[in-house]
A = this chain, B = another copy of it.
Amino acid sequence: MRGAVLYAPGDVRVEQRPDPAIIEPTDAIIRLAATCICGSDLWPYRGVEKLDGPAPMGHEYVGVVEEVGSQVTTIRPGQFVVGSFWASDNTCELCRSGYQSACVHRVLMGTLGTQAQLARVPLADGTLVATPDVPEPDLVPSLLAASDVLGTGWFGAVAAQAGPGRTVAVVGDGAVGLCAVLAAKRLGAERIIAMSRHAPRQELARQFGATDIVTERGDEGVARIKDLTGGLGAHGVIEAVGTQESMLQAIRSTRPGGHVGFVGVAHDVALPGDELFFSLVHLHGGPAPVRQYLPELIELICGREIDPGKVFDLTLPLDQAAEGYKAMDERRAIKVLLQP
């Protein structure tokens, strides 16, 4: 099969790789209908995250089940399925508490590489959620978004306690931040402030439900949020970047007793304890338990109630993955869909 491999910062190649095979009896093999490039793939692409030799890339996926292992009981060949970047058994105590991304048997899909034609999915019964029918092709991008960025933005919005009567701000205008706007809207937030200085992203944020756009960043951004919230700060803030600046901007934009949901993968962040203490905010985040939300998200997408697939503003054949990485790195594209 064809699959994308990162050889060194800036050097992504699509090459012939061995077809995956069932290894564990709980595995499934899927043929990808679509895959994509994640903001978090840019960390190793930019050399911020260290790379130990060539690495298969990608952890987002939707597709049709080709084969299942002998112990797979609910997932069947021919089903169209969506999964998350953590394979999870969905039965352990942590999964049952809603934290499938901390499953005691979890496997990181990124180590297997889903920017490819085929993928092995461990713990198939726990990990994969089948759509009611094979979806219309125009629904595929939205289902693919559910695999990570929508599920992650949703978790951020839940952690920020977006809901009726509440003002929520979103730090970060990448695909996750934009999906967090959509999630906050669906969860009933009254006012949704998107922080963005890029016109196309502002436009999509508005389509997804943003009521206000703030272009300022850092301390000025915090001051604008305070201005918009009677001097108190937002009830909830979703952080979808992962830098020191964005984390502090999120914490400082939140009122005492408010909630920060942080879903940007933290890089070189050190939170000052005294500031966190006196801020009196709630802080929750991390790798999103996307699996928890998949049934609900699939229902909303298949019912055409939400359209998160709009975050894909560039579609390329898988073989042009290198151009996709470049476009995202240079912020020419919000998110790139790859056709295997």
Contact = CB atoms under 8 A, between A and B. Distances in A.
Contacts of A265: 274, 277
A324 to B, nearest CB: 26
Contact of A257 (B94, B276, B277): B94
Nearest to A159: B282
A256 B93 contact: no
A274 B247 CA distance: 12
A285 interface: yes
Given A101-B280, A283-B282, A272 B269 contact: yes
A273 B266 contact: yes
A284 B283 contact: yes
- The complex is assembled from copies of this chain, and their number is 2
Interface residues of A, number: 40
**Closest 4 A/B residue pairs (Cβ):** A269-B273, A102-B256, A266-B273, A99-B257
A47 B279 CA distance: 24
A287 B280 contact: yes
Contact of A271 (B257, B270, B285, B286): B270
A279 B287 CA distance: 9
A244 B274 CA distance: 11
A148 to B, nearest CB: 16
Interface in A248-288: 255-257, 262, 265-274, 276-287
A262 B276 CA distance: 10
A247 B270 contact: no
Interface string A210-243: 0000000000000000000011100000000010
Nearest to A98: B257
Interface in A68-123: 93-94, 97-99, 101-102, 104
Interface of A: 93-94, 97-99, 101-102, 104, 230-232, 242, 244, 247, 255-257, 262, 265-274, 276-287
Contacts of A102: 255-257, 280
A286 B255 CA distance: 13
Contacts of A273: 242, 244, 247, 266-271
Given A104-B231, A276-B285, A282-B284, 12 more contacts: A93-B232, A94-B257, A98-B257, A99-B256, A101-B280, A262-B277, A267-B274, A269-B274, A269-B276, A270-B271, A277-B286, A282-B282
Contacts of A93: 230, 232
A59 to B, nearest CB: 15
Interface core residue of A232, A276, A282 (most chain B CB under 10 Å): A276
Interface core residue of A255, A273, A285, A287 (most chain B CB under 10 Å): A273
Contacts of A256: 94, 99, 101-102, 286
Given A269-B272, A273-B266, A286 B279 contact: yes
Nearest to A260: B283
Contacts of A281: 284
